Amino acid sequence: MAGLLDQLTQPQRDAVTHVDGPLLILAGPGSGKTRVVTHRIAHLLEQGIPAWQIAALTFTNKAAEEMGHRVNALAPGAKVWMGTFHRFCAQLLRRHAALVGLAENYSIYDTSDSKQAMKHAIAAAGVSLTHASPEKIASSISRSKNRLVTPEMLQGQSLGPVEAIAAKVYPVYQQHLLTANAVDFDDLLFHVANLLRYNPELRSDLDAKFRYILVDEYQDTNLAQYAIVRALSIDHPNLAVTGDPDQSIYGWRGADIKNILDFEKDYPSVTTVRLEQNYRSTPNILRVADQLIRHNRRRKQKNLFTDNPEGQPVVLRIFESGFDEADGIADDIVNAIARGDATANDFAIFCRINAMTRSLEHALRNRGVPYQIINGVEFYQRKEIKDLLAYLHLINNPCHDVALARVINTPTRGIGAKSIEHLRSFAELNRIPMLEAARRASEIRELAKRSATMIAKFVSLYDRLATKATAPLEEILRFLVTESGYATYLENSANDQDENSPLANVDELITAAVEFDRRHPDDGSLDAFLEQVALVSDTDAFEESSERVTMMTLHASKGLEFPRVFLIGVEDDMLPHARSKEDESQVEEERRLLFVGITRAKEFLQLSCCKRRSIRGDFRPVIPSPFLNELPLQEIERIETKVARDWFNEDFDQSYPDSWDLPEIDVEQSTAPLSVAIEPDEFNQDVPSVELTDDSTDTGGTSSVQEKGKKRLI
Ligand code: ATP
Ligand code: MG
C-alpha cells in the first residue's frame, strides 16, 4: 500500500487516507478523482474495514466494472459493492419489494415498455392531448418522481397546464405499474428513497450496513439519488463524493447541480479536498477547455494546471460537408496508423447525437479500419431480442401486461389487435393482469369463439414455458425459441448472409445467456438476468483494450479518456442542440457537454464542423457553433479543406450563408462575468426529451444513404 500512496500527489493522498466523516473531492477533469475513489476503497480495506460495509456508486455499469478491476488489482478478492445507483436500488428493492406493494419478482420496464404503459394510462385517464403530448406528460411524471413527488402530493396544487394533465395520468400510470408488478427506471430510485424515508428501522439498519459510501460523478445526481445517499449516511456519515460541477450534463434528466454545491452545507463537518493538477491532457487542450467553460455564468472558477508537455495545438477543421468530414477524419486515422504513430484504439470520435456516426462508420469501413460504436442498448432494442425478452419477462412475472401484449400474437397465432383490446378491458375492469384475463377468455363475451380458442392455446403454451422458470437460462431460452414457434418464424424470414440477421442476434442472446449461467452458477435466476439486461447502459459495450476506433456520444464519453479525440459536428443547433437554445441554463449545460468532450483528450484534439450537412435526409447549409467563438482562436490551428465547388448545384451555393469566417474576437473581453451565484433550479422548465439528446436516432439511416447518393455527384 505504501507503494500505492507513492503514486499519488499530497492532496490525492489526503483524500485516500481520510477514513471517517464526510469527504468532498471537488476537482476538474483528469485530476484523479476516480483514481482517488479506487485507491480509497483499497485503503479502507487495508484499515480492516469489512468489504461488505463499503458501497461505491458509479454513473455507468462500465465505470463500476472498471473500478472493480482497479480495486481487484489493489485488493484482490475483496467483495465491495460497486455499481450504478439504479442497480443498487434494484437490489435493495428486490429484498424489500413488499414495503412498496410489489412482489419480489417485479419487472423493470425499459423505455419502450414504459411508453406503452403510459399510452394506456393516458387513454384510461381520459385526458385531452390538445395541450400536452404523451412525451411531455411522461417527462413531467418523470420529473415528479425524480423530485420524490407522489401523485397524492400533486392533489390540490396549482399547476401549469402540462403538469395539471400529467397529475391526472400519474396515479393511473402508477396503478398500472403496480398491477403489472413492475417499475420504470425512475421508480427504482423513487421507491427506494421512499422506503428509506418511511421505514426508519430499515433506514438505520442499512445505514449501519453500508457504513462507507463513495459516489463518483456526484454532480450528476438527482434529488432522489441525493435523498438515498443522505438517508444512508445519517448515523454513519462516512460519505465520500467526488465531482466537478462543470461536468454536470444530465440536468435534462433531473440531475441537480446543487447537490454537489450544497454538500458543504449538508455536512458541516466535511473535509473538502481540491485537486488542481491535471494528469490527462496537454496544456493546449486544457487552455481551450478552460476558456470555453469560463463563459458559463453560473459556476465557480477552478484552477487547473498540468506538468504535461505542451503538445500540439488544438485543431479546428472546417469541412465542406458531412461526408468530407467523415472521409477527412478516416484518412487521418488511417495515415497515423500506417505511419506507426498510433493504433486504432488511440482514437475516439464524439458526436452530439448517435445518428451522426453513420457517415463515419461508412468511411472507416471503406478503409478497413476496425471501429466500435458505443450504444450498448441498441442490441436490446432489436425486434427479435425484445420479443424473446418479453417472453422471459412474462415467464418471470405473469403480471407483465406489456410483455403479454407483445408476445401473445408473436409469432402470429390469429389473435388480432381487437381481441387483445378485449382482454385489456376485461383485465382493467376486474383489476387483474392480462394473462389472468386470458385464462378467463371464455367469460369475455365480446371475444369471437375462434379467438377464445387461440387465446386458450397461448395460455397452455405459456404454462409449458413457465415450467422452465427455474432452469438455467440457456435451457429456458432454447426451449422458448423452439416451443413458441419463434425459430420457425425466423427461419422463414431469414437472410443468414447478414451478420445482423435476426437469427444471428438470437444466437448472440443465447451466448449472453450461456455467459450469464457461467458467471452465476448459484444465483443465476431469471430475474437477475432480466435485471442486468434492463439496466444495460449505453457505455456497456465499450472495450477499452480492443484495437478499434471508438465512436460515441458526448454524454457517453463522461469519465473516459483517449489519446486522440475528434469531436464532430460542432455546429449551431447541434451543439448547442436546437432544443436547448431558448433557455440560458440549458445552453450552459450544452457548453458543459462540449467541455466534457474536450477534456477527454490526452494528446490531440480536433473539433470539426462542416458547411453543409444532411439532416433528416435533407442536405442543407449549417452554421458553426457559437461556442467556437468562445475558444482561444489565436492559439488554435484552423484548417479549412476546400474541395472543388462545382460538385453541388448552383442554387444551393447561392443560399449558402456567408457566416463562415469566424470573427476575430478579443477573448479577454468576451469572457462572460464569472459568478458564484447559482439560480434556483427551474423545475417547471421543459427539459429536452430523451430522443433529442444523447441517444437520438431520429435522423435515422437515411442521412448516410443520402450522403452516399450525393457523393456520386462529385
Ligand atoms: P474526470 O473528471 O474526467 O472523470 P478524474 O478526475 O476522475 O477525471 P482520473 O480519470 O482519475 O481523473 O485520472 C485522469 C488520468 O490521470 C488517469 O489516466 C489517471 O491514471 C491519471 N492520474 C491521476 N492521478 C495521477 C497521479 N498522481 N500520477 C499519475 N497519473 C495520475
Ligand atoms: Mg472520473
Q: What share of the chain is helix, strand, coil (3-state, %, to 5)?
A: 50, 15, 35
| C-alpha cell at position 645 | 465547388
End-to-end CA distance of the chain: 62
Residues whose CB is less than 8 angstroms from the CB of residue 122 and which lie 6 or more positions away in sequence, other chains included? 129, 134, 137, 169
Of 6, 9, 31, 596, which is best to mutate to test ligand 1, by the most ligand atoms within 8 angstroms of its C-beta?
31
Question: Which range has the worst mean pLDDT, 53-57, 152-156, 628-632, 669-673?
Answer: 669-673
The Cα–Cα gap between 182 and 516 comes to 23
Question: Which range has the worst mean pLDDT, 52-56, 298-302, 414-418?
Answer: 298-302
CA–centroid distance, residue 245 to ligand 2 (Å)? 12
What's the one-letter identity of residue 560? Answer: L
Global confidence as pTM: 0.81
Based on the number of CB atoms within 10 Å of its own CB, is 513 exposed (0-12), middle (13-18) or buried (19 or more)? Answer: buried
> Does residue 7's CB lie within 6 angstroms of at least one atom of ligand 1?
yes
The Cα–Cα gap between 616 and 303 comes to 42
Strand partners, 271: 23
Q: What angle do CA 401, 407, 412 make, to 5 degrees?
A: 140
> Does residue 243's CB lie within 6 angstroms of at least one atom of ligand 1?
no
User: Where residue 684 falls among pLDDT bands split at 50, 70, 90?
Assistant: very low
| C-alpha cell at position 695 | 441517444
Q: Is there a catalytic annotation at residue 508?
A: no
| C-alpha cell at position 59 | 454513473
Picking from 696, 682, 695, the residue whose alpha carbon sits closest to that of residue 587 is 682
The Cα–Cα gap between 91 and 97 comes to 10
Q: Are 284 and 603 in contact (CB under 8 A)?
A: no
Given the DSSP bridges, would you call strands 618-621 and 601-615 parallel, antiparallel or unpaired? antiparallel
pLDDT tens per residue across span 190-218: 999 999 999 999 999 999 999 999 999 99
Ligand index nearest the alpha carbon of residue 246: 1
- pLDDT > 90? residue 658: no
What's the one-letter identity of residue 640? Answer: E
pLDDT tens per residue across span 442-499: 999 999 999 999 999 999 999 999 999 999 999 999 999 999 999 888 887 755 445 4
Given the DSSP bridges, would you call strands 182-183 and 107-108 parallel, antiparallel or unpaired? parallel
Which of 12, 34, 277, 282 is flagged as catalytic? Answer: 34
CA–centroid distance, residue 559 to ligand 1 (Å)? 10
- pLDDT > 80? residue 697: no
Which of 33, 35, 143, 352 is flagged as catalytic? Answer: 33
- Check residues 677 and 544 and name the one with the higher pLDDT: 544
Q: Chain centroid to CA 161: how far?
A: 29
Look at the chain and count its residues.
714
Quick one: angle between helices 702-711 and 322-338, nearest 10? Answer: 80
Quick one: angle between helices 357-366 and 322-338, nearest 10? Answer: 40
> Does residue 688's CB lie within 6 angstroms of at least one atom of ligand 1?
no
CA–centroid distance, residue 281 to ligand 1 (Å)? 10
List residues forming the annotated binding site for ATP. 27-34
pLDDT, position 541: 60
- pLDDT > 80? residue 328: yes
| C-alpha cell at position 356 | 451522426
Nearest ligand 1 atom, CA 275 = 6
Picking from 228, 205, 243, the residue whose alpha carbon sits closest to that of residue 90 is 228
Strand partners, 351: 553
- In this structure, the number of other CB atoms found within 10 A of the CB of residue 113 comes to 25
pLDDT, position 643: 58
The Cα–Cα gap between 237 and 451 comes to 60
pLDDT cut 70: percent of the chain above it: 86
pLDDT, position 540: 62
Instruction: Name the residue at shortest CA distance from atom 21 of ligand 1.
Output: 279
pLDDT tens per residue across span 545-557: 678 999 999 998 9
Of 14, 279, 350, 594, which is best to mutate to test ligand 1, by the most ligand atoms within 8 angstroms of its C-beta?
279
CA–centroid distance, residue 37 to ligand 2 (Å)? 9
> Does residue 280's CB lie within 6 angstroms of at least one atom of ligand 1?
yes
| C-alpha cell at position 451 | 379467438
Sheet of strand 23-27: strand arrangement: 81-84, 54-58, 212-215, 238-243, 23-27, 271-275
Nearest ligand 1 atom, CA 599 = 3
Most distant pair of Cα atoms in the chain: their distance: 79
**Residue owning grid cell 479549412:** 640
pLDDT, position 252: 81
The Cα–Cα gap between 407 and 453 comes to 17
Q: Are 608 and 567 in contact (CB under 8 A)?
A: yes
Based on the number of CB atoms within 10 Å of its own CB, is 233 exposed (0-12), middle (13-18) or buried (19 or more)? Answer: buried
Question: Span 436-444, mean pLDDT?
Answer: 95
Of 10, 34, 599, which is best to mutate to test ligand 1, by the most ligand atoms within 8 angstroms of its C-beta?
34
pLDDT, position 326: 93
CA–centroid distance, residue 277 to ligand 1 (Å)? 9
Residues whose CB is less than 8 angstroms from the CB of residue 417 and which lie 6 or more positions away in sequence, other chains included? none
Instruction: Name the residue at shortest CA distance from atom 16 of ligand 1.
Output: 279
Based on the number of CB atoms within 10 Å of its own CB, is 69 exposed (0-12), middle (13-18) or buried (19 or more)? Answer: exposed
Spell out which residues have Cβ within 5 A of ligand 2, the ion.
33-34, 559
| C-alpha cell at position 560 | 473516459
> Does residue 489's CB lie within 6 angstroms of at least one atom of ligand 1?
no
pLDDT tens per residue across span 559-570: 999 999 999 999
The Cα–Cα gap between 181 and 418 comes to 25
Nearest ligand 1 atom, CA 12 = 27
- In this structure, the number of other CB atoms found within 10 A of the CB of residue 434 comes to 25
List residues forming the annotated binding site. 27-34
- pLDDT > 90? residue 161: no
Residue 21 is classified by DSSP as S
The Cα–Cα gap between 15 and 217 comes to 16
Ligand index nearest the alpha carbon of residue 28: 1
Nearest ligand 1 atom, CA 279 = 16
DSSP 194-227: HHHHH-HHHHHHHHHHS-EEEESSGGG-BHHHHH
> Contacts from 422-431 at CB under 8 Å and sequence distance 24+?
422/446, 422/447, 423/455, 424/120, 427/401, 428/124, 431/179
pLDDT tens per residue across span 345-374: 999 999 998 778 878 988 998 999 999 888
> Does residue 38's CB lie within 6 angstroms of at least one atom of ligand 1?
no
Which of 13, 145, 600, 611 is flagged as catalytic? Answer: 600
Based on the number of CB atoms within 10 Å of its own CB, is 479 exposed (0-12), middle (13-18) or buried (19 or more)? Answer: middle
Q: Is there a catalytic annotation at residue 600?
A: yes
Ligand index nearest the alpha carbon of residue 27: 1
Instruction: Name the residue at shortest CA distance from atom 11 of ligand 1.
Output: 32
Which of 12, 38, 247, 410 is flagged as catalytic? Answer: 247
Picking from 169, 19, 149, the residue whose alpha carbon sits closest to that of residue 684 is 149
Please tell me whether residue 573 adopts helix, strand or coil conformation.
strand
Residues whose CB is less than 8 angstroms from the CB of residue 43 and which lie 6 or more positions away in sequence, other chains included? 1, 16, 17, 19
CA–centroid distance, residue 30 to ligand 2 (Å)? 7
**Residue owning grid cell 421508480:** 187
Q: Is there a catalytic annotation at residue 711?
A: no
Which of 113, 207, 216, 327 is flagged as catalytic? Answer: 216
Q: Is there a catalytic annotation at residue 589?
A: no
User: Where residue 686 falls among pLDDT bands split at 50, 70, 90?
Assistant: very low
CA–centroid distance, residue 564 to ligand 2 (Å)? 18
pLDDT tens per residue across span 593-647: 999 999 999 999 999 999 998 776 677 899 999 999 999 999 999 998 765 444 3
Picking from 16, 596, 30, the residue whose alpha carbon sits closest to that of residue 279 is 30
Picking from 100, 117, 242, the residue whose alpha carbon sits closest to that of residue 173 is 117
- pLDDT > 70? residue 672: no
Instruction: Name the residue at shortest CA distance from atom 9 of ligand 1.
Output: 32
Question: Span 296-310, mean pLDDT?
Answer: 89
| C-alpha cell at position 480 | 422458448
Q: Is there a catalytic annotation at residue 217?
A: yes
> Does residue 34's CB lie within 6 angstroms of at least one atom of ligand 1?
yes
> Does residue 30's CB lie within 6 angstroms of at least one atom of ligand 1?
yes
> Does residue 12's CB lie within 6 angstroms of at least one atom of ligand 1?
yes
> Does residue 9's CB lie within 6 angstroms of at least one atom of ligand 1?
yes
When the pLDDT of each residue in the chain is averaged and rounded to a whole number, the result is 84
